[in-house]
A and B are shown apart, each in its own frame.
Chain A
Amino acid sequence: MTAAVVEHQRAGIRALAGRIGLLGGLSIALVVSLVFAAGHGQLDVPPSEVLGSVLHKLGLDLGPVPHHPQGENTLWQVRFPRVVMAALAGACLATAGALMQGVFGNPLAEPGVVGVSAGAAVAAATVIVFELTFAGTWTVAICAFIGGLLTTLLVYAMSRDGGRTEVVTLVLTGIAVNAVASAGLAFLMFLGDTQAREEIVFWQLGSLNGSRWEYVGVVAPMAAVGLGAALFLAPRLDLLALGDRAARHVGVDVERLRMTTIVVVAVLTAAAVAFCGIISFVGLVVPHLIRMVAGPGHRLLVPASALGGAVLLVLADLWARTLIAYADLPIGMLTALVGGPFFFWLIRRARRTAGGWA
């Protein structure tokens, strides 16, 4: 008995060490990739100068400043807002994916696949076409949030049955929602002028090009609220895995938890989509990889997904803008290029293993 307790305490310590190790490792990876990505591009700035520039801005006279006359400007006007935006969007998308999978009890749920991103996109395109400015810079974000929320509620209402969501139902619901949303987008493009059309096309492809501090100022608070709420909800999401009835039996107010989580998913998706457009599959790939490493417990899954998503998108964006010289590939295209086959592999695997699929 005592031996078992000691053994279990050891296991607990190991789990804690693993937790700190994973989150610490991902944090270090994030910092390194941020510095590295900020320094790379048409004008290369060595990492030491990137760090030096940041430290000087913070009032610390440490390290070298960029030697190139345009270095400082490039970093602060173009690169930093862009890499910070990439990190925020990646964290939001991956966290939204993890939450959604928990709520649907289904590892295939993801804002992009399900069509929530598309719903948010339609709302944002409406803002672009009709040149709505009722809330200044925030207009797009607010509308994207409302569009995302409505779509999530719709998908949720349509695809749930008896407390669980079947894989097939979910994917088909996603197809239906995406179809309607792309019809809406097409109509809006038809309505809009050439400039609005171009903006919408860029948006659909997803791009971090043109990120500005002004936009970061909108996305950052939304991301902070969404990620904070996600961390708060995480422990209870584990219990939803038991199914609705059993979750209620262990004291979860299932309906309330689910509605709260859906609102949080909409906030996170809107934050990511508002200025960066549709970047799909991040919310699918990242939580899945984390689950393979760290297991399905949401206490670790949610923060690790946030960090992992940030790292992934910072690096993917670096790739998108440096792969071809003087060209900025749409990042949504790249994530879909990698995410699509991954999704397919997941479906194949789901068919083989009886790993708790609905």
Chain B
Amino acid sequence: MSRTGPLLSARGVGVRYDDNPILSDVDVDIRGGELVVLVGPNGAGKSTLLGVLAGDIEPTVGGVSLDDKPLPAYAARELARQRGVQLQKQGLAFGFRVREVVQMGRSPWHRTAREDDDERVVSESMQRADVVEFAARLYPTLSGGEQARTSFARLLAQETPVLMLDEPTAALDIRHQESLLAVARSAAQAGAAVVVVLHDLSLAAAYADRIVMLAHGRVCANGVPRDVLTSELLTEVYEHPVEVIDHAGALLVVPVRTRAVESHAGEEVRCATPWPHA
């Protein structure tokens, strides 16, 4: 537990599909106790990097080690005790109930001493992900946001020192976006290494210890939110004017909306002079 080096470390990672470079020269370290957010425009390679870090995608060059041991050296079950993943899309082939889906997160611990905690951990995870109220419902009948929260509960139930979440907040309402990231944060404070892919840069600013920004498959910035989320860098990377506002100590990232301003101006005109055909 009292390690100083990174828990998860990617070195020189490159992924190519049919000669198209998806990721090149990526070096990333994630330490226990920190929440790292991956950001970047569509197609920047965020999900691919997460897939590589999770051991789903074998990099064309380079490699990832978890706890100083290369990922391919892990057996599936052994790896599942080290890292849990919440995917962007969560399908389920049969009509299992929410509680049963959360219990599936406990399967890496079957036939070990930690199996005794199953009941408690599942109940706690369901409370933390706020899925208790629909625990008995069938997973395929849930809304997208409820399915995402169920998957988050399953991830928590897995009790791994490394947590990876691919756009966990995409389908969530504001309250659950905040509560999910707050729980992820508290997991990091308790010592876990947490990697989250996010699109919402203000959310990233609020919850990240460190932000890794990807563009065209490369890391273009890696640091604390205040250093990475600057108007100049975001404008360049997202190819759209972006403003970063410091609002009472919180960073708010807002795109500059030229069209919105125009229509607003039109409205003013409409109010000043009555519509001729009215």
Residues on A lying within 8 angstroms of B by beta carbon are 1, 4-5, 8-9, 105-107, 164, 236, 238-243, 245-246, 248-254, 291, 295-297, 353-356, 358
Contact = CB atoms under 8 A, between A and B. Distances in A.
B120 interface: yes
Contacts of B108: 250-251
Contacts of B107: 236, 239, 250-252
Nearest to B160: A249
Contacts of B83: 249
Interface in B73-115: 75-81, 83-85, 87, 90-97, 100-101, 104-105, 107-108
B222 interface: no
B81 A251 contact: yes
A253 B94 contact: no
Given A296-B96, A356-B139, A164 B91 contact: yes
A53 B139 CA distance: 51
A355 B104 contact: no
Given A245-B87, A249-B80, A249-B84, A355 B119 contact: no
Nearest to B91: A243
Which of A1, A164, A252, A356 lies at the interface centre, i.e. has the most chain B CB atoms within 10 A of its CB?
A356
A198 to B, nearest CB: 42
Contacts, number: 102
Contact of A242 (B76, B81, B92): B92
A107 B96 CA distance: 13
Contacts of B95: 291, 295-296, 355-356
A356 B142 CA distance: 11
B76 A241 contact: no
A240 B104 CA distance: 10
Interface of B: 54, 56, 75-81, 83-85, 87, 90-97, 100-101, 104-105, 107-108, 119-120, 123, 138-141, 154, 158
B94 A4 contact: no
In the A-B complex, the 6 residue pairs with the smallest Cβ-Cβ separation, listed nearest first, are: A251-B80, A105-B93, A296-B94, A251-B77, A356-B140, A251-B108
Contacts of A251: 76-81, 107-108
Contact of A248 (B76, B91, B104, B140): B76
A246 B96 CA distance: 15
A240 B92 CA distance: 9
A2 to B, nearest CB: 10
A259 B180 CA distance: 37
A95 to B, nearest CB: 17
B149 to A, nearest CB: 15
Nearest to B79: A251
A356 B80 contact: no
A245 B139 contact: no
Given A1-B123, A296-B96, 7 more contacts: A5-B119, A5-B123, A106-B93, A246-B87, A251-B81, A251-B107, A356-B92
Contacts of B85: 245-246, 249
A5 B104 contact: no
Nearest to A9: B119
Contact of B123 (A8, A238, A241, A249): A8
Nearest to A241: B93
B154 to A, nearest CB: 8
B96 A241 contact: yes
Contacts of A5: 119-120, 123
A167 to B, nearest CB: 11
Contacts of A295: 95-97, 100
14 contacts: A164-B91, A164-B93, A238-B104, A241-B92, A241-B94, A242-B91, A243-B92, A245-B56, A248-B76, A249-B54, A250-B105, A252-B76, A253-B76, A358-B91
B56 A297 contact: no
A237 to B, nearest CB: 10
A105 B120 CA distance: 30
Contacts of A358: 91, 93
A253 to B, nearest CB: 4
A250 B84 CA distance: 7
Contacts of B138: 355
Contacts of B93: 105-107, 164, 240-241, 243, 356, 358
A354 B141 CA distance: 7
Nearest to A104: B93
B96 A250 contact: no
Nearest to A12: B119
A242 B141 CA distance: 15
